[in-house]
Every structure is written in structure tokens, then in C-alpha cells.
Structure 1
Amino acid sequence: MQFLNGITLLLVYQLVGEVSVRLAGVPIPGPVLGMVMLFLTLWIRGAVPESVGTASSALLSHLSLLFVPAGVGMMAHFSRIADEWIPITLALLLSTIITMVATALIMQFTTRWLGRSTGGQGDE
């Protein structure tokens, strides 16, 4: 029963996100807005309900199955991918490099900021 309650709650947040996006005309996917709302709710509560934890653990244990549609889509459009492999490869490489540089810079900034806020304590 915990799983059913948790998955229902997750789907309700997805539905609320989808409805909000459609009504507001916001250019982001509804499930993403629902996920942000769920995150904010859990952050405010300070804890994850047992039902949501059970449902999310079950979904994560089968995460690899969620990649099957993407793989099928790639096979269905293989000729297009083969025709445009250079832009796809450049986009993947550049986005990976940009993400790695941004992550490193954010990590350095955060480390320095946290070091200042603690007054240098804990660096022993």
C-alpha cells in the first residue's frame, strides 16, 4: 500500500505541474515543474514520507528500463543520426566540456565561500 500511495503522490505532482504549465503557458515541461514543486515541498517538510521513499526506490531500481524508449528512438532515426554525426558529436563534446568547467568553477566558489563562512575552521 505504501508504494501505491507514494506513486499516487508523485503522479499528482506531475499532474499539477502539467496543468500549471498549460494554464500559465510557461515554456518548460510539466513534469519538471512538478518535480520542482515536489522538491520544495520535501525541503519545507524536512523529510521524505515513507510512501514516497518506497515508490521512488522502486522506480530507481528499474531505472534502466526507462532508457529503452530512447534506444528505440535512436534506432528508428539511425539514418538521420548518421547524416548529422558531426554536429551531434560537437554538441556532445562542447556541452560536456562546458558542464565540467562550470562544475569545477562552482565547486571552487562554493569551497571558498564555505571556508570563509566557517572562518577557516575544519581545515586541519
Structure 2
Amino acid sequence: MTLLVFQLIGETLARSFTLNLPGPVIGMAFFLCFLAVVPRAAKAIEPTAQGILSHLSLLFVPAGVGITGHLDRLGSDGFVILIALSISTAISIAVAALVFDRVNRLTSKQK
């Protein structure tokens, strides 16, 4: 229920102020702030989060449908899309590695 409330808040703000940011992204940002302020809420959300994560593969179905719906675009802009995906993936992996390293250093100093 909590996740849906934050999504509703995000959708309401996005549509009310005609923002170019998707409502669920806004809701997720507010949810992150909520979890930072109320850390014990994470324990209450954990079963729902585990359920969503266990069925994460279902979220790729709409992406697959979108790709097949735009095959002509993939043919004309496929190389550019491949380059953008490659670069963004490399950047994501590098940032994740840097964050992991930083968190690892912080937590090892505490021990």
C-alpha cells in the first residue's frame, strides 16, 4: 500500500505541474526520502519488495513489446542505440563499482 501511495503522490505532482519527469520516478524519490527519515519502515516494506524482485523478469515484457513495435526504428537507428546502450551500461557499471568501493571503505573503517 505504501508503494502505491508514493506512486500516487508522484503521479499527482507530475500531472498537476506538467513535469517532464514520470510520476513513479517522483514518487520513488519521495519514498527514498521517507525511508531515510523513517528507517524502520524498510522492514515493513521488505516482504512487498521481495515479491516484486522475485517477479522482476515480468517487467521486461513491456520493453520487449516496445522493441517489436518499433522494429523499423531499430533498423534505421540501431547503431546509435547500440552505442548509447553500450556507453550507458559501461558508465552504470563504473559508478556501481565506485559506490561499492566507497561503501566498502566506509564500512571497513567502522569495524
Matched AA of 1:70: A
Give the TM-score of the pair, scaled to structure 2.
Answer: 0.76
Give the aligned partner of residue 63 of structure 2: 70
Give the aligned partner of residue 81 of structure 2: 88
Distance 2:18 2:93 in 1: 32
Distance 1:105 1:46 in 2: 24
In structure 1, the gaps of 5 or more residues are 1-7
Which of the numbers 10, 15, 26 marks the counterpart of 2:3? 10
For 1:91, what is the secondary structure of its paired residue? Answer: helix
Distance 2:17 2:72 in 1: 38
Give the TM-score of the pair, scaled to structure 1.
Answer: 0.69
In structure 2, the gaps of 5 or more residues are none
Give the aligned partner of residue 25 of structure 1: 18
Count of matched residue pairs? 108
- Give 1 or 2 for the bigger CA radius of gyration: 1
Can you list the C-alpha shifts for 1:21-61, whole angstroms capped at 9, x where unaligned? 222333211101111111111111122142x2221111111
More helix by share: 2
Q: How does 1:16-55 map to 2 (within 5 A)?
A: 16-47=9-40, 48-50=42-44, 52-55=45-48
